[in-house]
Amino acid sequence: MWKGILTAILLLFSTVNGVGHPMPHSIFILDVKGENIYAELKMPLKELQFVIPFDVTEQTENLLEDERRNQLSDYFLIHIRPKSLNGLDWKVEILDMLLEETEQESTGKYKELTLHLSMQPPSGESVRNFKLYYDAILHQVVTHKIFVNLRLDWQSGRIDDKELSLGLIELSIADNNIKPMQINLEEGSRWKGFVAMVCLGIGHIAEGIDHLLFLLVLLLPVTLKAEYGHWATFAGTRKSVWSIFKIVTAFTVGHSFSLLLGAKQWVILPQQPVEIVIAITIFITAIHALRPIFPNKEVIVAIMFGLIHGLAFSTVISEMNLDTNELSYSILGYNIGIELMQIFVLVLTIPWIVILSKNNHFRWIRIIGAILAIIISVAWMTERYTMKSNIVSSTIETASNQGKWLVLMLFLFAMVSAFRVRSERERRYPSNNEHDDHIG
């Protein structure tokens, strides 16, 4: 009884005294991957000091040396105890420890210790329903709180890194006890994970305007004939449509292959140089749109450059560290999402490009579009090399949400162009209004 009263007084005192100086809390983040749970545990060093026999706040450079690391590991393995609903203990392994500086709005900057954990249930036990016994720091610092969040759960479709609050572990004043948290995750399925990956692929292309810009610029002159080192007249509707189909298919084959290699981590390249090379691919295709530098070889270029873009696509999946089954469904779903979004954008733009290509007005649209693509690609190369945004890249980032107006303008230009072509045809052939356009 007296212990409970003392606890209540301490809690009340800390609340009053903590108005001006609130203490930072711990965060327990769960990632469900297959039949295991990987967790990220973040805790403030100031509060950890109350339960560790050696200094952890001043001499942090020695904190993670072998002896002290082992002491910390032993301490946490005692206080992290997930159990199945029937009381069976899970296997807990500390994979890594890091020291980081962070900031909370109410507490300001402070140092924290971050643990990466693997928590594996006994064979046959559910990974989605269990009890989390955790009382590190809290068993001594009664005012401490642990927020438990869910970040990744592929089978329930949670793949966007937006954390879902599962609850709070704290001391119960009523019985002076630290109760385990009951974890009951939404029932998942491979279908939910697959659909989530399709949506992720769609969103990646919708937001990743560099991939769309590359494809559109590559297709910009595809409706024209290359003659004597220049883009000449309209190549014909049938030939143009067939060329577009081959180029888009080649790009798909290229990025699908490298997406598979990258997602399975068979090919691992640093992200920064890949992003720089993607900007270079846009620059090269923009030069080609101005003057043919690889005429009739667009299919080969689409495959080669598609391989580079696929490595950028694969980063999203590889960072999830999914198990084999989830990874296979993810690669398929993500790739389908990418293709659906690409097809959607092409359907909205390519018909108007074909119509515009039938007269000389398209020449200026092609030139202006290519020059803008060159400027944008140089800005992206600079930004990705220096890791600092610039005026052009920032403007493009802001304007990327206004793509619908660009499509509308393209549509209006195409309609005006078609009307003028029809008027000119009727003027030249007043007695034969059924004269058709050359379609190759």
The burial class, CB within 10 Å (0-12 / 13-18 / 19+), for 427 is exposed
Higher pLDDT, 25 or 22: 25
In a domain, 408, yes or no: yes
Q: How far apart are CA 72 and CA 58, in angstroms?
A: 16
Give yes or no for a contact between 84 and 68, defined as CB atoms under 8 angstroms apart.
Answer: no
In a domain, 437, yes or no: no
Per DSSP bridges, beta strands 26-33 and 146-153 are parallel
Looking at residue 41, its pLDDT comes to: 96
CA atoms 32, 37, 38, 40: torsion sign: positive
Closest residue by Cα to residue 130 from 92, 104, 159, 78: 92
Last residue of a domain, one of 188, 213, 237: 188
The continuous run of DSSP H or E covering 116 comes out as strand 108-120
Q: In the predicted model, what is the mean pLDDT of residues 88-114?
A: 85
**Centroid of chain to Cα 384:** 17
Same-domain status, 227 and 106: no
Helix (H, G, I), strand (E, B) or coil at 277: helix
Same-domain status, 197 and 176: no
Q: In the predicted model, what is the mean pLDDT of residues 64-91?
A: 92
DSSP alpha helix (H) spans, 357-402: 361-386, 391-399
In a domain, 96, yes or no: yes
Q: Which residue has tokens 């990743």?
A: 208
Looking at residue 251, its pLDDT comes to: 92
Same-domain status, 143 and 197: no
Same-domain status, 47 and 152: yes
pLDDT digits (tens, 9 = 90+) for 170-200: 988 878 889 999 999 988 888 999 999 999 9
In a domain, 372, yes or no: yes
Domain that holds residue 399: 191-428
Looking at residue 429, its pLDDT comes to: 67
In a domain, 159, yes or no: yes
Same-domain status, 109 and 200: no
Same-domain status, 215 and 98: no
Looking at residue 402, its pLDDT comes to: 63
Helix (H, G, I), strand (E, B) or coil at 100: strand
Last residue of a domain, one of 144, 163, 188: 188
pLDDT digits (tens, 9 = 90+) for 312-353: 888 888 888 787 888 889 999 999 999 999 899 888 888 888
Higher pLDDT, 241 or 360: 241
Same-domain status, 24 and 54: yes
**CB proximity list for 306: less than 8 A, separation 6 or greater:** 250, 251, 252, 253, 254, 255, 256, 257, 258
Q: In the predicted model, what is the mean pLDDT of residues 266-276?
A: 90
In a domain, 295, yes or no: yes
Looking at residue 137, its pLDDT comes to: 93
Looking at residue 301, its pLDDT comes to: 93
pLDDT at 144 over 50: yes
pLDDT digits (tens, 9 = 90+) for 43-68: 998 888 889 888 887 767 778 887 88
Same-domain status, 310 and 335: yes
Last residue of a domain, one of 188, 208, 223: 188
The continuous run of DSSP H or E covering 172 comes out as strand 171-172
What pLDDT band is residue 401 in, cutting at 50, 70 and 90? low
Looking at every residue in the chain, the average pLDDT score rounds to: 85
Looking at residue 336, its pLDDT comes to: 93
Q: How far apart are CA 322 and CA 153, in angstroms?
A: 10
CA-based R_g, the chain, Å: 30
The one-letter amino acid at 366: R
The continuous run of DSSP H or E covering 30 comes out as strand 26-33
Give yes or no for a contact between 252 and 306, defined as CB atoms under 8 angstroms apart.
Answer: yes
In a domain, 440, yes or no: no
pLDDT digits (tens, 9 = 90+) for 362-374: 888 889 989 999 9
Same-domain status, 248 and 352: yes
Most confidently predicted of 9-13, 135-139, 314-318: 135-139
Q: In the predicted model, what is the mean pLDDT of residues 124-128?
A: 91
What pLDDT band is residue 209 in, cutting at 50, 70 and 90? confident
What pLDDT band is residue 440 in, cutting at 50, 70 and 90? very low
The one-letter amino acid at 215: L
* Torsion angle of the four alpha carbons 35, 40, 41, 45, in this order, in degrees rounded to the nearest 10: 160
First to last CA, the chain: 94
Write the DSSP assignment of 186-247 as a string of letters: PP--HHHHHHHHHHHHHHHHHH-HHHHHHHHHHHTTTTEEEETTEEEEE--HHHHHHHHHHH
Higher pLDDT, 13 or 417: 417
Higher pLDDT, 23 or 176: 176
Same-domain status, 171 and 202: no
Count of structural domains, the chain: 2
Q: How far apart are CA 178 and CA 47, in angstroms?
A: 17
Q: How many CA atoms lie within 13 A of 8 on its CB side?
A: 8
